Amino acid sequence: MTTPFSRIGAKKRAAGVPGDRLPPGQYIPRGWPVLHYGPLPKVDLATWDFKVFGATADGAERRWDWGQVGELPRTEVAADFHCVTKFSVLDNTWTGIPTRAFTELAPPAPDVTHVMVWAEYGYSANMTLADFTSELALFVTHKDGEPISPEHGWPLRLVVPHLYAWKGPKWVRGFEYLREDRRGFWEERGYHNRADPWQEQRYSYQESPGDGPEL
């Protein structure tokens, strides 16, 4: 099912791009730039697993190995990609597992409001449950028909197209249900807690009361 959308190179002018496609302050690069904090992880699919934990409906955590993840339903989503460093990659076709597939298999407790997504090296990103389960949010394995590379998050990365891309960690290992919001890795280091590119919510000093926990 295809859902209608919502290497660092030189900048390319955004001539002819409709205003409703490019958030304020963004430019279109050549290719898909590679940006991440720290080295590439060494992934062994024989021991790799994906975990859902925290405030689950029954209090139990769930785990899937790579083979079990491969049996989950896949879908395609056409969606743009907006990085807080100001580049946007348009017209991507993402293939992966809808976040809702995991929330259906391991439902949250009724009072869950947020999730914390966890990745290799203890990296984390927080967001509301509504953002996490939005229609276009996927745990991605492929982009434009090709497996994502290790530099871009192989074997699994999260893509939440309506938020800045740091909210979609590379090398994802699971997520935690939260009964109250808690800042993730970059949110503790000065990035905006909400991360809406259309409101240009880049940094914590731009936050309004209620946008997130106190730093």
pLDDT, tens digit, for every residue of 64-117?
A: 999 999 999 999 999 999 999 999 999 999 999 999 999 999 999 999 999 999
Residue 193: domain span: 44-75+93-206
**pLDDT confidence of 32, banded at 50, 70, 90?**
confident
125, part of any domain: yes
- With a pLDDT cut of 70, the percent of the chain lying above it is 91
Within 10 angstroms of residue 89's Cβ, the number of other Cβ atoms is: 17
**pLDDT confidence of 17, banded at 50, 70, 90?**
low
C-beta of residue 127 within 8 angstroms of C-beta of residue 166: no
167, part of any domain: yes
Residue 39 confidence (pLDDT): 84
Domain count for the chain? 1
Predicted TM-score (pTM) of this structure: 0.89
Q: Among candidates 178, 181, 100, 170, which has minimal Cα distance to 135?
A: 100
Model pLDDT for residues 129-161, shown as the tens digit of each residue: 999 999 999 999 999 999 999 999 999 999 999
Long-range contacts of range 119-123, CB-CB < 8 Å, 24 or more positions apart?
A: 119/169, 119/170, 119/171, 119/172, 119/173, 120/41, 120/43, 120/170, 120/171, 120/173, 121/38, 121/41, 121/171, 122/185, 123/37, 123/38, 123/169, 123/171, 123/184, 123/185
> What is the mean pLDDT of the segment spanning 190-198?
97
Residue 213 scores a pLDDT above 60: yes
C-beta of residue 33 within 8 angstroms of C-beta of residue 83: yes
134, part of any domain: yes
Residue 18 confidence (pLDDT): 61
Query: Would you state the structure tokens that stand for residue 42, as one six-digit string?
Result: 């060494």
39, part of any domain: no
Return the CATH number at 108. 3.90.420.10
177, part of any domain: yes
Query: Would you state the structure tokens that stand for residue 193, as one six-digit string?
Result: 């807690």
Q: Are strands 11-12 and 157-159 parallel, antiparallel or unpaired?
A: unpaired
98, part of any domain: yes
Which residue carries 């290799």 as its tokens? 120
7, part of any domain: no
Residue 24 confidence (pLDDT): 94
58, part of any domain: yes
Average pLDDT score over the chain: 90
Least confident of 1-10, 88-97, 135-144, 192-201: 1-10
Model pLDDT for residues 98-110, shown as the tens digit of each residue: 999 999 999 999 9
**pLDDT confidence of 2, banded at 50, 70, 90?**
very low
